[in-house]
Amino acid sequence: TWTAANIAEDLIEQVRTQVGDGQAICGLSGGVDSAVAAALVQRAIGDKLTCVFVDHGLLRAGEREQVQQDFVASTGARLITVDAVDTFLGELDGVSDPETKRKIIGREFIRSFEGAVSEVLGEAAEHGGAVDFLVQGTLYPDVVESGGGTGTANIKSHHNVGGLPEDLQFKLVEPLRLLFKDEVRAVGRALGLPEEIVARQPFPGPGLAIRIVGSVNQERLTLLRHADSIVREELTAAGLDGQIWQCPVVLLADVRSVGVQGDGRTYGHPIVLRPVSSEDAMTADWTRLPYEVLERISTRITNEVPDVNRVVLDVTSKPPGTIEWE
């Protein structure tokens, strides 16, 4: 029979066969997919797995701490954190084209993993040890939308599929490659991962970089992070987390509009709210959030976030819009 527990057992067995007694690292993003992939591989190869969390400076408020606590607490996995903020932001400097951003981020993730290898191996590095395998939480929709499925257009390069460099030195281990998100969540539960991890809303690997329309810099990230934390706070307070798939918050960094605040003219940026409902992210509908909640979010963002004087709501389904703006 097809139960999540059976699927988990099969996947664990497949990983064991593929990796043998090799060493693997797993890039953790804080999201459901990489956490479930890591938990599966840990069951298969135990402490031959090391998880690597790359702080690329494109995370939301509190995310780094959350991964360090939740994931390690529930799995006991070995975790290395790589501080790569300056590298990522340096490489992204002045870049506003969405696919270029995605490719840079995909490449820099891999460079960060490569950089972590010597730390993973420790003393074994001197005895010719190697890390041959990179575990990724790639899902079926990631493959399809990156152009990896037959007959599908390349919509956007998911950082862990179309964004990989050509000279990749790792063999990929992608146990979730044929699954959809709801199946991944079921497998995660079968593996005993807590709800804080399994029920988490999706957040893309390229992070806030693909939610800033325009080039990425510290100042814009700080602004978007602030607006995003207000949105998450208000949605949680209104008890809406379970009803939405995710709610990207987007900064239109190259757009300004005229406003009036206090007794003066402002010329600030718009923030876009993109609440969506979905089963598998392949299609989505815009979520009809209650007006009171929208009003609270709008008032708070325009009062609390400097340089933002307008909040707009994205009422586009997927298709024709994608969930993320880039």
| Binding-site sequence positions for ATP | 29-35
269 bridge partner residues = 308
Residues 101-130 contacting ligand XMP, CB under 6 A: none
Among 51-59, 92-100, 202-210, 254-262, the segment contacting ligand XMP (CB under 6 A)? 202-210
Peptide bond before residue 141 is cis, with ω within 30 degrees of 0 = no
Distance of closest approach, residue 178 Cβ to ligand XMP, in angstroms: 16
Residue 23 vs 142, nearer CB to ligand XMP? 142
Residue whose CB is less far from ligand XMP, 35 or 281: 281
Phi and psi at 61, nearest 5°, equal -60, 135
Is residue 287 at the binding interface for ligand XMP, with CB under 6 A as the rule? no
Q: How far is the CB of 49 from ligand XMP (least distance, A)?
A: 20
Q: Which lies closer to ligand XMP via its Cβ, residue 186 or residue 208? A: 208
Which window, 201-209, 219-227, 230-238, 307-315, contacts ligand XMP (CB under 6 A)? Answer: 201-209
The nearer residue to ligand XMP, 194 or 202, going by C-beta atoms, is 202
Q: Which stretch binds ligand XMP (CB under 6 A): 40-48, 200-208, 235-243, 260-268?
A: 200-208
Which of positions 28-87 make contact with ligand XMP (CB under 6 A)? none
Considering only CA atoms, which of 131, 125, 156, 123 is closest in space to residue 141?
Answer: 156
Q: Is 246 in the site for ligand XMP (CB under 6 A)?
A: yes
Among 57, 175, 188, 206, contact with ligand XMP (rule: CB under 6 A):
206
CA angle 55, 322, 70 (to 5 degrees): 30
Does residue 289 touch ligand XMP according to CB under 6 A?
Answer: no
159 touches ligand XMP by CB under 6 A:
yes
Q: Which two tokens stand for residue 63?
A: 């995310």
Q: Are 53 and 68 in contact (CB under 8 A)?
A: yes
Provide the 10 A C-beta neighbour count for residue 25: 27
* Closer of 45 and 176 to ligand XMP (Cβ): 176
Q: Which is nearer to ligand XMP, 48 or 103 (CB)?
A: 103
Give Cα 56 to chain centroid, integer Å. 11
Considering beta carbons, is residue 145 or 174 the nearer one to ligand XMP?
Answer: 145
Residue choice 103, 156, 220, 232 for contact with ligand XMP (CB under 6 A): 156
Q: Which of 28, 66, 73, 32 is nearest to 50 (CA)?
A: 28
Tokens 């969930």 belong to which residue?
Answer: 323
Beta bridge partners of 312: 272
Least distance (Å) between residue 128 CB and ligand XMP: 34
For residue 225, which amino acid is it? Answer: R
Instruction: Return the H-helix or E-strand segment holding 55.
Output: strand 49-55
Helix locations, the chain, DSSP H = 4-19, 32-45, 63-66, 72-75, 85-92, 98-121, 140-145, 181-190, 195-198, 218-237, 291-304
Tell me whether the omega of the peptide bond preceding residue 206 falls within 30 degrees of 0, making it cis: no
Residues 133-152 binding ligand XMP (CB under 6 A) are 145
Q: Which of 140, 186, 155, 163 lies closest to 32 in space, CA to CA?
A: 186
- With binding defined as CB under 6 A, does residue 281 bind ligand XMP? yes
Q: What is the contact surface with ligand XMP in residues (CB under 6 A)?
A: 145, 156, 158-159, 202, 204-206, 246, 281, 318, 322-324
